Structure 1
Amino acid sequence: MTTPPTGQEPDYRFTLANERTYLAYLRTSLACYAGGLSAVQFLDLGPDRIVAKIMGAILVCAGLVTTAGAFRRWQLNQAAMREGARLPVTRLPLMLGATIAVVGLLGLLFSLWR
């Protein structure tokens, strides 16, 4: 059983904006899952396809981290709004951007190398 939230109920517009952000992160994590599974299934970057498997694993792991991080971010933001505190800083967008850039660069390099 969860404890009841403390503080004041935030303006519903902020609550809905927080929820939209959470859903946007979930869409991004779904895209990472789809991209990772597609990389493993369809990329032919060498005889044993190890590069495609690595790219796929990285993207699926990024999707898992994004899913968990999005929920945690939603919780922390909701709690901060109830208390009237500042919203916490997150590194989730930086992690996502860096991961996607690295996987894209890896794919580009191995596509040119072939």
Structure 2
Amino acid sequence: MTQPEHEPDYRFTLANERTYLAYLRTALACYAGGLSAVQFLEVDGERTLSKVIGVVLVLTGMVATLGAWQRWRRNTAAMRQDAPLPASRLPLLFAVTLGLVGLAGLLFSLLR
């Protein structure tokens, strides 16, 4: 049986919203980086690596956008029920994905 809902302390609600907005800023940076990679990166006339980097970054931005909303919604529900906040794998996903994109960028720099 779930506990009755109540209005959480506004400070926690605002902190949850700030986290949500931070995820959206991350998504926006991924979109911008992905589009820039496709537009401007080139190795010896070949654009395959830049397209891969761009697609991965834009897809990561899409996951960040959807994941941010889901995480905000789940955290809000947990706070209203005095339940523990649910764990999220999004930070790990971002760290691994952006680390791999960074390695690809390093490879790109070395090949230029």
What's the TM-score, normalizing by structure 2? 0.93
What is the match of residue 91 of structure 2? 93
- Report the counterpart of residue 36 of structure 1 in structure 2: 34
Q: Give the whole-Å Cα distance in 1 for the aligned partners of 2:39 and 2:96.
A: 23
Residue 3 (structure 1) aligns with: none
Deviation of the 1:109 alpha carbon: 1.4
Q: Report the residue type matching 1:11 in the other structure.
A: D
Residues of 1 paired with 2:51 and 2:69: CA distance? 27
The residue matched to 1:45 in structure 2 has which SS? coil
CA 1:61–1:46 in 2, change beyond 3 Å: closer, same or farther? farther
Change (3 A) 1:60 1:98: same
Compared CA separation, residues 75 and 54, structure 1 to 2 (3 A): same
* Partners of 2:41 and 2:50 within 8 A in 1: yes
User: Which residue number in structure 1 is paired with residue 106 of structure 2?
Assistant: 108
One-letter code aligned to 1:101: G
Give runs of ≥4 in structure 1 deviating > 2 Å.
45-48
Separation (CA, whole Å) in 1 of partners of 2:6 and 2:101? 43
**CA offsets, 1:52-83, max 9 Å, x none?**
00000000000000000000000000000000
Give per-residue Cα distances to partners, 1:80-106, cap 9 Å, x unaligned.
000000000001011111111101101
- The number of residues matched between the two structures is 109
Identity %: 63
1:76 maps onto 2:74 in alignment: yes
- TM-score scaled to structure 1, two decimals? 0.91
Name which of structure 1's ranges 97-106 and 67-76 shifts more when overlaid on structure 2: 97-106
The amino acid that maps onto 1:15 is T
Structure 1 segment 8-47 matched on structure 2, within 5 A: 8-47=6-45
